[in-house]
């Protein structure tokens, strides 16, 4: 990873999100391999989680050390639950609430909405601690072809904290099909609230007449919700990942004053109707970039994503950039 190289984010007049260029050194000569990265900080240590259960740690967001992966054998996943499942899971999300770390994950078959979202918990991320132990809490929800016009992958959870200490969990997820969904979690953050509360928060145009079992061409996935002052920002990835040098991944963003939406882009177009302000796409360094997460660490806001490295046969690399904001909070 060469974080000091220009990332070439689009700077749209009067601003969309402006991504600064901090002077960072590469963690090694070819970059740190990572796919679907998410991050959290415990004490003075940053922890990175990726598709497949990979884990790494760093003290400075520059040099990363791979450590023991998260367990990826899921006893609750059977052929009946996910036909065509080949093991492991995709696109984790790591969150912390009331002394517990929640790692949300998605076992899935490729290019089918035979998918599910589960969660495992831990009380520490320090692998040297006697308390370190991941405990799988099982499935939260699943998608079934022909029944559900959505895909249960790419989980992101936002803990909405209100006055008085009340916390509401919101699970956003999805890819292709009918777009990205938002569903309310129960207080245990491991199951759906009842009665269920669902919203469509973003989608892209899909060719009419495609079978419901086909992901189609409405390319959108990997939602991530981030709050700043009075706005909730919804980051999404569009076009195609996972094709090496042929990847066309890019990142769009919109915002809302209500976590349930609707989310609008800078031009006022709703994201449920194909809107989204473009903030990252192909550069001289990356064929495509996406599946982002956004965090506040030590008084700064960071954009964390993976990009397909043109200088290394399109391999997926970790990219981290600082976000800056204009006066209109874009």
15, 17, 192, 267 from 12: Cα distances, Å: 5, 8, 39, 11
Joined together, the tokens standing for residue 237 give: 């990835």
b/e per residue 97-106 (b: at least 16 CB within 10 A): eeeebbbbbb
Q: Is 212 a catalytic residue?
A: no
Among residues 27, 221, 285, 309, which one is catalytic? Answer: 221
SS3 271: helix
Q: Is 312 a catalytic residue?
A: no
Pick from 39, 4, 31: nearest CA to 298: 39
Q: How many CB atoms lie within 10 A of CB 190?
A: 18
Helix/strand/coil (H/E/C) assignment for every residue in 189-242: CCCECCCCCEEEEECCCCCCCCCCCCCCCCCEEEEEEEEECCEEEEEEEECCCC
Rounded Cα gap, residues 187 and 145, in angstroms: 29
C-alpha 308 chain-centroid distance? 16
Among residues 27, 36, 154, 265, which one is catalytic? Answer: 36
56, 156, 200, 252, 277 from 171: Cα distances, Å: 25, 6, 12, 19, 22
Rounded Cα gap, residues 61 and 101, in angstroms: 20
Q: What are phi and psi of 244, to 5 degrees?
A: 60, -130
Sheet containing 156-161: give its strands across: 156-161, 167-173, 180-184, 198-202
By annotation, the residues acting in catalysis are: 36, 221
């Amino acid at each position: 990873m060469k974080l000091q190289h220009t990332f070439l984010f689009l700077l749209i007049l009067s601003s969309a999100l402006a991504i600064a260029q901090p002077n960072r050194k590469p963690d090694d000569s070819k970059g740190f391999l990572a796919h679907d990265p998410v991050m959290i900080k415990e004490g003075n240590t940053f922890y990175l989680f990726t598709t497949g259960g990979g884990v790494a740690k760093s003290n400075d967001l520059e040099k990363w050390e791979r450590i023991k992966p998260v367990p990826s054998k899921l006893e609750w996943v059977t052929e009946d639950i996910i036909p065509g499942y080949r093991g492991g899971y995709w696109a984790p999300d790591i969150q912390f609430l009331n002394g517990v770390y929640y790692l949300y994950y998605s076992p899935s078959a490729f290019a089918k909405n035979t998918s599910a979202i589960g969660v495992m918990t831990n009380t520490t991320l320090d692998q040297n601690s006697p308390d370190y132990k991941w405990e799988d809490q099982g499935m939260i929800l699943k998608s079934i072809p022909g029944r559900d016009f959505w895909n249960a992958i790419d989980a992101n959870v936002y803990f909405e904290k209100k006055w008085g200490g009340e916390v509401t969990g919101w699970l956003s997820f999805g890819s292709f099909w009918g777009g990205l969904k938002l569903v309310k979690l129960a207080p245990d953050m491991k199951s759906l609230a009842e009665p269920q509360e669902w919203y469509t928060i973003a989608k892209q145009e899909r060719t009419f007449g495609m079978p419901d079992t086909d992901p189609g061409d409405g390319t959108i996935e990997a939602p991530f919700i981030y709050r700043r002052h009075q706005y909730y920002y919804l980051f999404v990835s569009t076009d195609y990942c996972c094709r090496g040098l042929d990847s066309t991944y890019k990142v769009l963003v919109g915002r809302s004053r209500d976590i349930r939406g609707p989310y609008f882009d800078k031009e006022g177009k709703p994201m449920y109707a194909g809107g989204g302000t473009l903030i990252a796409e192909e550069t001289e360094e990356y064929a495509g970039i996406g599946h982002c997460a956004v965090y506040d660490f030590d008084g700064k806001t960071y954009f964390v994503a993976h990009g397909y490295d043109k200088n290394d046969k399109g391999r997926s690399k970790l990219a981290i950039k600082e976000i800056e904001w204009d006066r209109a909070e874009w």
